[in-house]
Amino acid sequence: MRSTCAFVIPTQEGSSLLTHKLSVARVDPSFFGMTKKAFERISTGVFLLILIVLNANAQTKAKTGFGLPVDKSEFQVFIDGLSTKVQGRIGMSALLIETGETVGYKADERFPMQSVYKFPIGMAALYAVDQGILKLDKSVKVANEEYVSAAQHSPLRDGNPDGAMVTVKELLRLAVSESDGTASDVLMRLVGGAQSVMNYLQAIGITGVIVKNTEKELGATNSVQYDNWATPIQATLLLKQFQLGKGLSVSSRALLMQLMTDTQTGLQRLKGNLPPGTVVAHKTGTSGTREGITAATNDIGIITLPNGRHIAIAVFVTDAKADQTTREGAIAQIARKVWEKYQL
């Protein structure tokens, strides 16, 4: 004969019950010098402890990706496969702004932004314009000492080796549409430095986008890029605030939206697999490659769907060994997957 013990354990959410039946071989309690009741109490406690541990382990796996295997969504499996292809870490978040629907993958983890951070710097600069601190048509002197290194992207430096006079509006265009590192640093200087950018972000409710250093500093020390990070979910929240006009005037938002729509960098990323003519306002970020590892291949932006709704999406590919085509292709595939999910 065999005895059966049943245990009912609530899941972590407390909304359902997990019931286990354990079949236990009958043994003679006297063999252990115990009464039947004492043996049953101890054996029941042991099995209950085992079930609690197994259930907690499953909950940990579902939240962190570690522990015993659990069922994954099709979307998670899809990005797992892309992570294997890029030989690195992928994080993403997408938000259908009009409904609040979301999908994400490692959305709370930190990823180095690289030039993605020129988007919040641009927002902070335009907020200064709205406050009358800066004027779009004001010419600003840019000394050649402010230029980023030769290894970094800067059309402003390349076209003006002895320094230049540039309007604030042109600095915005260079920083956002052309991802000019020097222009970004000058904008940061004009708004009062990285802390002023952070103050602006915190004022509009953004806590997981961190701007600490200039582009020149990023270029000088490789590890500094990891101090300037974002979580995918906070990046999409920033895009949502931007789309809804939070923290900027109507005219400033329209200007930045146009500059992001005109972006010529990373055309094979978010836009790569979308239908021709799809409007994407985006900002890319890319690091150099050292010892075969590329720290950042990123793209965040707002995709306008055929039905007029908008997706805020952020995709970060970090510390990847794959080539640029593979890394950018992964971002494009994720964007297409999200587009298909929400376009109806």
Q: Are residues 79 and 22 in the same domain?
A: no
Q: What angle do CA 312, 212, 238 make, to 5 degrees?
A: 15
Q: Which DSSP category does 109 fall into?
A: S
Rounding to the nearest 10 degrees, give the CA dihedral for residues 226, 232, 238, 243.
140
Do both 192 and 215 map to the same domain? yes
219: three-class secondary structure by DSSP: helix
155 and 218 inside one domain: yes
CA distances 237 to 102, 138, 180, 272, 300, Å, are 11, 31, 25, 23, 11
Shared domain check, 200 and 325: yes
**Structural contact between residues 172 and 255, judged by C-beta atoms closer than 8 angstroms:** yes
Q: Tally the residues of the chain.
A: 344
pLDDT at 12: 38
pLDDT (tens digit per residue) in 294-328: 999 999 999 999 999 999 999 999 999 999 999 99
Q: Are residues 120 and 178 in the same domain?
A: yes
Give residue 264's pLDDT band: very low, low, confident or very high (50, 70, 90): confident
Please state the φ and ψ torsions of residue 88, each to the nearest 5 degrees.
Answer: -160, -165
The pTM (predicted TM-score) of the whole model is 0.80
CB 50 within 8 A of CB 4: no
Task: Give the catalytic positions in this structure.
Answer: 115, 215
Are 46 and 143 found together in one domain? no
Q: Residue 205 carries which DSSP code?
A: T
199-216 pLDDT, tens digit per residue, is 999 999 999 999 999 999
The predicted structure's pLDDT at residue 283: 98
Query: For residue 66, is it within any domain?
Result: no
Regarding whether 231 and 120 lie in a shared domain, the answer is yes
Q: ∠ at Cα 283 (93, 241), nearest 5°? A: 60
Domain that holds residue 167: 74-342
Residues 146, 212 within the same domain: yes
CA-to-CA distance for 252 and 280, rounded, in angstroms?
Answer: 18
Please enumerate in sequence order all residues whose Cβ is within 8 A of that of 67, keeping only pairs 6 or more positions apart, or say none: 57, 58, 60, 61
Q: Could you report the per-residue pLDDT of 14-72, keeping only the tens digit for each?
A: 333 333 333 344 555 555 565 666 556 666 665 556 555 555 555 544 443 333 344 57
Taken in order 134, 161, 197, 317, the sign of the CA dihedral is: positive
Q: How many domains does the chain have?
A: 2
> What is the average per-residue pLDDT within 76-85?
97
Read off the tokens for 11.
């899941």
Mean pLDDT of the chain: 87
Least confident of 54-63, 235-244, 260-269, 280-289: 54-63
Tokens (6 digits) for 69: 């295997």
Same domain, 209 and 251: yes
Residue that wins the pLDDT comparison between 235 and 65: 235
Per the CB < 8 A criterion, the answer to whether 256 and 122 are in contact is: yes
